[in-house]
């Protein structure tokens, strides 16, 4: 089976001539609705409000936001600042905006900025397929995997990072079963990952986040496969809250732990995980769901939406530039010297 056969099934980010359409991920799986955005401020709002989410997808949307600002004749410095402030943890946002800023400094016109945004989008899809191939190649027999949050086409330019490895493994006959953690409090696993898996007929079951340890104790899981919002220079990984817990559990139970992220997610300017800003969002995301209370009124809640997994708990880091077993500062630095075409 062609591992790229389904790359166009799910398109969360679509350029439509003079505006951007974003699949509103807040409404899935109940409704498939595209939000029309026509300005950088509207793109920034969509990123902040999680209409679009996932580090690569955030970067792609932000690049299109710059293109929209240029088409409208808006002040580009203001647009860049508004977009930069939309989410603090995902490094792809800052990478994509730095790339657009370079084009602006070189005198690019609106058409050239749109072409650059489209190039960022297309390159991400190509990187995802390469990571899918590299990650699936590590499976010498069909495996059962556990994944967290959503790292598929919805979170990227298409195909996905961690879920892209799972997609490719399924296409190649190397996948037995997927366990998708629900991923509290936004339920990206149950609302989004389960939706993607069902849409493409990949064998999977949904589990509560707290069921992971029990599954591992029963030897039901061979690999934990997750994405990343930022990888520090030493290999520490910031990802959706709960990732660190899974890494600790995996190490205790002898389950392999794989992180899948493009080279654009590696931040060599951040020495280690302690330097990564961890976004804290409204407590209402924890005490309510879609406007319905899930906790007593006024009860305080702490809502960090990312955690940091030390590199010492990562067995494999898969990027479009290559694969690192047991990543550390030296191997990450060497990886980032590699040509992505190699």
Active site residues per annotation: 229
- CA–CA separation, 273 and 237 (whole Å): 7
Q: With contact defined as beta carbons under 8 Å apart, do 117 and 63 qualify?
A: yes
Neighbouring residues of 97: CB distance < 8 A, sequence distance ≥ 6: 59, 62, 63, 66, 80, 83, 84
Note whether 242 and 181 are within 8 A (CB).
yes
In order of 83, 185, 286, 301, 304, the CA distances from 282 in angstroms are 19, 11, 8, 9, 9
30-43 in b/e form (b: 16+ CB < 10 A) is: eeeebbebebbbbb
Q: What is the DSSP letter of 257?
A: E
Going by C-alpha positions, the residue among 276, 340, 329, 292 that lies closest to residue 134 is 340
d(CA 220, CA 5) in angstroms, rounded, equals 29
Q: Are 84 and 93 in contact (CB under 8 A)?
A: yes
C-alpha span between 155 and 12 (Å, rounded): 8
The Cβ of residue 78 has, within 10 Å, a number of other Cβ atoms equal to 12
């Amino acid at each position: 089976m062609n591992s790229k056969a389904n790359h166009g099934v799910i398109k969360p980010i679509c350029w439509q001539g003079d505006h951007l359409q974003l699949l509103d991920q807040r409404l899935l799986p109940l409704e498939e609705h595209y939000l029309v955005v026509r300005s950088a401020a509207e793109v920034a709002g969509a990123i902040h409000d999680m209409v679009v989410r996932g580090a690569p997808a955030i970067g792609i949307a932000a690049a299109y936001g710059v293109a929209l600002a240029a088409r409208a004749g808006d002040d580009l410095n203001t647009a860049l600042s508004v977009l930069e402030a939309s989410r603090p943890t995902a490094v792809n946002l800052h990478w994509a905006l730095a790339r657009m800023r370079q084009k602006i400094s070189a005198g690019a016109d609106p058409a050239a900025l749109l072409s650059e945004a489209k190039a960022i989008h297309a390159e991400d899809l190509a990187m995802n397929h390469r990571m899918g191939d590299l990650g699936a190649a590590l499976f010498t027999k069909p495996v059962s995997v556990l994944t967290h949050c959503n790292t598929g086409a919805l979170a990227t330019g298409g195909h996905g990072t961690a879920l892209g490895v799972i997609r490719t493994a399924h296409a190649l006959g190397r996948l037995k079963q997927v366990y998708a953690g629900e991923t509290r409090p936004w339920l990206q696993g149950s609302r989004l990952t389960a939706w993607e898996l069902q849409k493409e007929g990949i064998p999977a079951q949904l589990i509560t986040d707290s069921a992971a340890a029990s599954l591992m104790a029963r030897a039901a899981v061979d690999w934990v496969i997750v994405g990343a919002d930022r990888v520090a220079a030493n290999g520490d990984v910031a990802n959706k809250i709960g990732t660190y817990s899974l890494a600790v559990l995996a190490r205790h139970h002898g389950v392999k732990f794989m992180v899948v992220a493009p080279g654009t997610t590696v931040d060599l300017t951040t020495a280690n995980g302690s330097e990564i800003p961890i976004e804290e969002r409204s407590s209402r995301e924890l005490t309510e769901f879609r406007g319905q209370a899930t906790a007593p009124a006024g009860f305080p809640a702490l809502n960090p939406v990312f955690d940091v997994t030390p590199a010492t708990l990562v067995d494999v880091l898969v990027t479009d530039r290559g694969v690192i077993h047991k990543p550390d500062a030296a191997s990450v630095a060497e990886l980032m010297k590699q040509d992505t075409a190699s």
